[in-house]
Structure 1
Amino acid sequence: MDRPPYSPPSAFIDLLLDAVCVVDAEGRFVFVSAACERIFGYSPQEMIGRPMIEMVAPEDRARTLQAADEIMAGQAKPHFENRYLRKDGKIAHIMWSARWSEADQLRIAVARDITERKQAESLHAALYAISEAAHTAEDLLALFRQIHQIIGALLPAQNFSVALYDASHDRLSFPYHVDEREQASTPRCSAADALCAEVIHSERALLLTPETQHELAGQLQPAVDPDALCWLGVPLNSPDGAIGALALKSYRGGALYSDQDKELLQFVSNQVAAAIERNQLHARLRHMAQYDQLTQLPNRGLLHDRLRTALARARRETGRMALLYLDLDNFKQINDSLGHAAGDLLLQEVASRLKLCVRDADTVARIGGDEFVVLLESIQVPAHAAALAEKIRELLNQPMDLAGHALCILPSIGIALYPEHGDTMEQLLKHADDAMYGAKSRGGNRIQLRIRTGPDGDDFEASAPA
């Protein structure tokens, strides 16, 4: 006996995990299954008659309307993805299988919630991007900018801060701070300081919402920004403790962060902490390779790099520059009589005084022992180099009180000019070095300027006696 075709009751549709939606030619919902409430947060009654496009994330509306036109033209869309705004304000990632019914003049679609899959993919991409940023970022500021962009792809991050904690000095700083209502690069109030400090010292994430702010300890209550809707901070944990914190803030009308967002940001922050420590280590290694560890002045290698760059610029712009080669008279006697500790203090004081004499564009380098070189870029006339050398000589002649010892150190200074005394780094350094030894052979505490070569091959030099 033949049975009639089985026709399932419409209630079966409500048992599906995926949502069934029917939209008319004007783009309004005319039927939705029960699963829509789980996926979108709205009841079927709230969705019926509502324009579909109103629920689509603004960034996806244009291409969603284009896809709708193509479906109504007869092109089926089995794997179209876009984002919807749920009733609670969260984003839902949807994969649609849709086609047009010409007879009914309706668009029939099945919606599958792929939010968890998309979040997992985004998280995996974010962790990879953070790892890449740790290797490619030129410095910490560049790293923080990239991290801000990466986190912004996971969570609303219009207002984002990175706080770093210096345990040796018990000091909190904000090397990166972006706030839609602030122009400054550091927080304008103490709220960020107090809340980030709490996150760092407790080494626990802190989520403040309108419902949870009353749970704050008394000392933190005044730190809450009255204009903020939500504040989310997570520690940057390392094996030796928290090295800082990441903080997100939203204002009224903005995003409402959740416990899930807190867990996500904390997971990402572990990778960020490793990236920051890696960048800091590389920065320390670069500094050690380029700077003298005693005086923190550029070393010989960095001086050579800057001198090459300055020479290239001077040639290109037909400019002038000068080198001052400086040696401390009788420095060995101070080391022998007072010890190397006093000698080190003396070198540090000399470095400090030299930096007081020059412009920001100039370079003061320690190239070994008690020898220093000053690179003067873009001087107008040779007299400017001689005037600076005299300023240095007079400042170093002033007594120094180091570890209870009153010391008076006297310099011998040689000057080389570009282009008069050479066109290469080697020529200029040799001229300045020879001039310095000429000053020292004449009793020291003087300036020697190499000006020309006589017809018999001997060098004529001008000296500025003490």
Structure 2
Amino acid sequence: MHSGLTLQHILEALPGWVFVLNTREEHLLINAGFAQALKLHPTDLLGQRSQDLNLEFHLQVPSQPATQSGFGPLLKKALKDQKNLVQQLNLSIHQQGQPLGEHHVLCMAVPLGGPQGEHVLFYLQKQQHWDLRGLDHSRSILLQQIVDMSSSLIFAKDREGRFTLANRAFAEAYGTTPEQLLGKTDLDFQKDLKQIEKYREADLHVIENRIPMVIQEETVTDLEGNRRFLTTSKQFLNTPEHMEEVLGIATDITVLKQTREELLASEERYRELYLQASKLLERSKADLARTQALYRVSEALQEARTLQNLLDRICEIVAQAVSARWCSVFKLNHEERRVEAGAIRSRNASSLQMVEFEELMDGLAGWVIQEQSPAFSPKGIPDPRESLEVQAKRIQQKVGSVIVVPLNAPDRPLAMGTLTALNHLDDPDFSQEDLELMKAIASQVSVALTQRELLDRIEHMAFHDALTNLPNRLLFQDRLGQSLAQARRKQSRIAVLFIDLDGFKQVNDSLGHHVGDLLLQAVSERWKERIRESDTLARMSGDEFAIVLNDVLDVQSVERVAGEFLELVRKPFLLEGHEVHITASVGISIYPDDAADQHALLIHADHTMYQIKSNQKNDVFRRS
């Protein structure tokens, strides 16, 4: 069977220990290096917890005396905060009470989503080996992607102050990219010479004394004068090839600092207004309430686990902050012209109905989306930016003052959604302060939605084939594991089909790889229409596909389904003016008849498929 480059292959190539734990602390993936350190075979750990194998891990932060047992606390913290953790650890490993070794490691815990639910990827490196530049190209790309997923700002410098490592978040603080940073110094990207000198003194102090340092607050000012505030931890970094460097891990506290300053300023205004005149007291309270609203929005962005939960909470916060009768927020899919997600909240008023895409675009929201600018519409005055139908509906529902602000995303011609506050005709108009607050909230929500889209795309790319958009080998194995677990509970049958296209190489050689790609896409589309929603169709590699059929009745029904898939392939394909004819060979493996575990099922299906391919092709393996 042909095998492509899988995630497991790449993890094996990484110079360190890599493993993935789910919320039950069971090992989903593990590389050979970590298994070797535990004196076990990698398969011994899959699906097992460390305590099941009498393994004990004792973790201690070098600067703290307390020792924690196992990776559970790090796993829970990474999932709770939904942030990457980077931590120096003294790691002691024991099996059945006997020591297996002690190690000083740099540990990265990366929270991931996936078909099995939430889990965490752990990457452990002996600290003297931590050096991205020493990796070959494929491993460097994977490690850079892991580092780039961190919301922390990560960098490394040599003794001359040249950058040797930078992740995406750190580069953005300088207004550049990681590639442009490497080999250059702060002088190339900053104009605050005094601050650069402070960096230099701190870096040399860490390198010369080989001790960590924490800088509670420092600034980064790019060449355009944009300033950001950081809390930075710097540690000595030493590798065989690149001696005496400093590793920095920073947290951007700009928003926190700005919000704190805004709160202090608001409180100061409150005290001054209170002394000057009691009639200004209500205004000061309103300012404080708005600041608190921004805090609540920040908390919602951090804590909300689902998009719907986030939109619901934003509506509640806005309705309270600007005293709106109604609040709505919509995220739109412009390509499909539909409302992708939305929420409407009412405060002491009858509920409004969810609005469809076309009606939304006919109203004030449509103008805001097109112009990517906020709009304020006072009560009692028809707004020409709305259609006549929307104006009539607004009068019918006794809607008064309206504020609509866009949810903008960088480099997009249209806003990706809107945030709207509405009042009743009996209520006063919204104020300019209300508009400014909603703009600030919309800005935070826009960033959060953009980040969620990016993470969704990354997760989709990790588990799907780029050409056909089918599940890839990794997702197929996960789905097969779930199907097996369900079949064991229900005492039912499942079937695994391995399908290989006959003569696909000839198509590539005679018509070109472009036509070959079109053929793979066309075959996938035909099979997608046949597959049941409960089953899984995946592209394993090249011209090989696999299918999991759940709840099968008998061997004959499986063979009949396999025959239908073959018949779909036998029909000619018209690709760029070429009529392409092709066949396929199918191998079948049934649980529990042929095998009782995932590995054996896959081997049996692969073997039967090659029996057909080596004999007559264009057929299904049938039992005698």
- Interval containing the TM-score (normalised by the shorter chain): 0.5 to 0.7
Equivalent AA in structure 2 for residue 338 of structure 1 = L
CA distance 1:17–1:245, shift in 2 (3 Å): closer
2:585 counterpart SS class: strand
- 2:321 aligned residue: 154
- 1:117 aligned residue: 288
- 1:97 aligned residue: none
CA distance 1:368–1:186, shift in 2 (3 Å): farther
2:621 counterpart SS class: strand
Question: How far does residue 145 in structure 1 lie from its aligned partner after superposition?
Answer: 3.7
Give the alignment's TM-score, normalised by structure 1. 0.66
Q: Tell me, yes or no, if the aligned pair for 2:401 and 2:423 is still in contact at 8 Å.
A: yes
Tell me, yes or no, if structure 1 residue 408 matches structure 2 residue 581: yes
- 1:199 aligned residue: 368
Mapped to 2, the partners of 1:327 and 1:184 lie a distance apart of: 51
Question: How far does residue 159 in structure 1 lie from its aligned partner after superposition?
Answer: 4.0
Q: Tell me, yes or no, if the aligned pair for 1:295 and 1:351 is still in contact at 8 Å.
A: yes
Mapped to 1, the partners of 2:298 and 2:435 lie a distance apart of: 16
CA distance 1:266–1:286, shift in 2 (3 Å): same
1:176 counterpart SS class: strand
- 2:191 aligned residue: none
Mapped to 1, the partners of 2:547 and 2:333 lie a distance apart of: 35
- Of structures 1 and 2, the larger Rg is shown by 1
Question: How far does residue 157 in structure 1 lie from its aligned partner after superposition?
Answer: 6.8
CA distance 1:329–1:306, shift in 2 (3 Å): same
Question: How far does residue 330 in structure 1 lie from its aligned partner after superposition?
Answer: 0.5
Mapped to 2, the partners of 1:255 and 1:380 lie a distance apart of: 67
Q: Tell me, yes or no, if the aligned pair for 1:322 and 1:379 is still in contact at 8 Å.
A: yes
Q: Tell me, yes or no, if the aligned pair for 2:538 and 2:547 is still in contact at 8 Å.
A: yes
Question: How far does residue 338 in structure 1 lie from its aligned partner after superposition?
Answer: 0.3
1:440 counterpart SS class: helix
Mapped to 1, the partners of 2:326 and 2:603 lie a distance apart of: 56
**Correspondence for 1:176 among 342, 347, 353:** 342
2:408 counterpart SS class: strand
Mapped to 1, the partners of 2:606 and 2:544 lie a distance apart of: 10
- 1:42 aligned residue: none
Question: How far does residue 249 in structure 1 lie from its aligned partner after superposition?
Answer: 3.5
- 2:95 aligned residue: none
Mapped to 2, the partners of 1:245 and 1:418 lie a distance apart of: 51
Q: Tell me, yes or no, if the aligned pair for 1:413 and 1:436 is still in contact at 8 Å.
A: yes
- 1:335 aligned residue: 508
Mapped to 2, the partners of 1:305 and 1:170 lie a distance apart of: 30
**Structure 1, residues 219-266: CA drift from partner, whole Å, max 9, x if none?**
644433332334321012233253332223445567853332221111
Q: Tell me, yes or no, if the aligned pair for 1:324 and 1:375 is still in contact at 8 Å.
A: yes
Unaligned runs of 5+ in 1: 1-15, 20-33, 40-91, 94-112, 450-460
- 1:52 aligned residue: none
2:365 counterpart SS class: helix
- 2:556 aligned residue: 383
Give the alignment's TM-score, normalised by structure 2. 0.50
Q: Tell me, yes or no, if the aligned pair for 2:500 and 2:544 is still in contact at 8 Å.
A: yes
Q: Tell me, yes or no, if the aligned pair for 1:177 and 1:186 is still in contact at 8 Å.
A: no
Q: Tell me, yes or no, if the aligned pair for 1:393 and 1:445 is still in contact at 8 Å.
A: yes
- 1:72 aligned residue: none
Tell me, yes or no, if structure 1 residue 301 matches structure 2 residue 474: yes
Mapped to 2, the partners of 1:275 and 1:409 lie a distance apart of: 47
Question: How far does residue 413 in structure 1 lie from its aligned partner after superposition?
Answer: 0.6
Q: Tell me, yes or no, if the aligned pair for 1:310 and 1:377 is still in contact at 8 Å.
A: yes
**Structure 1, residues 144-195: CA drift from partner, whole Å, max 9, x if none?**
34433443453447441313364xx495644224376779754386245442
Question: How far does residue 286 in structure 1 lie from its aligned partner after superposition?
Answer: 0.5
**Correspondence for 1:361 among 517, 522, 534:** 534
**Structure 1, residues 356-403: CA drift from partner, whole Å, max 9, x if none?**
111111110001000000111122222221121111111111111111
Equivalent AA in structure 1 for residue 615 of structure 2 = R
Mapped to 1, the partners of 2:354 and 2:483 lie a distance apart of: 32
Question: How far does residue 17 in structure 1 lie from its aligned partner after superposition?
Answer: 6.6
- 1:442 aligned residue: 615
Question: How far does residue 448 in structure 1 lie from its aligned partner after superposition?
Answer: 0.5
**Correspondence for 1:144 among 311, 333, 347:** 311
Mapped to 1, the partners of 2:445 and 2:545 lie a distance apart of: 40
- 2:601 aligned residue: 428
CA distance 1:251–1:448, shift in 2 (3 Å): farther
CA distance 1:208–1:408, shift in 2 (3 Å): same
Equivalent AA in structure 2 for residue 223 of structure 1 = V
CA distance 1:375–1:398, shift in 2 (3 Å): same
**Correspondence for 1:322 among 485, 495, 508:** 495
Mapped to 2, the partners of 1:248 and 1:441 lie a distance apart of: 68
Mapped to 1, the partners of 2:338 and 2:328 lie a distance apart of: 16
CA distance 1:17–1:298, shift in 2 (3 Å): closer
**Correspondence for 1:310 among 483, 497, 502:** 483
Mapped to 1, the partners of 2:342 and 2:533 lie a distance apart of: 24
| Superposition map of 1:40-51 within 5 A | none
- 2:331 aligned residue: 163
Mapped to 2, the partners of 1:311 and 1:127 lie a distance apart of: 42
Question: How far does residue 128 in structure 1 lie from its aligned partner after superposition?
Answer: 3.9
Q: Tell me, yes or no, if the aligned pair for 2:502 and 2:617 is still in contact at 8 Å.
A: yes
Structure 1 moving runs of 4+ over 6 Å? 179-184
- Cα-Cα RMSD: 2.9
CA distance 1:408–1:234, shift in 2 (3 Å): same
- 1:81 aligned residue: none
Mapped to 1, the partners of 2:353 and 2:388 lie a distance apart of: 24
Tell me, yes or no, if structure 1 residue 237 matches structure 2 residue 408: yes
Q: Tell me, yes or no, if the aligned pair for 2:319 and 2:421 is still in contact at 8 Å.
A: no
- Count of residue pairs brought into register by the alignment: 342
Mapped to 1, the partners of 2:577 and 2:533 lie a distance apart of: 32
Question: How far does residue 142 in structure 1 lie from its aligned partner after superposition?
Answer: 4.5
**Structure 1, residues 290-325: CA drift from partner, whole Å, max 9, x if none?**
000100000000001111111111111212111111
Unaligned runs of 5+ in 2: 1-271
Mapped to 1, the partners of 2:426 and 2:555 lie a distance apart of: 64
CA distance 1:376–1:443, shift in 2 (3 Å): same
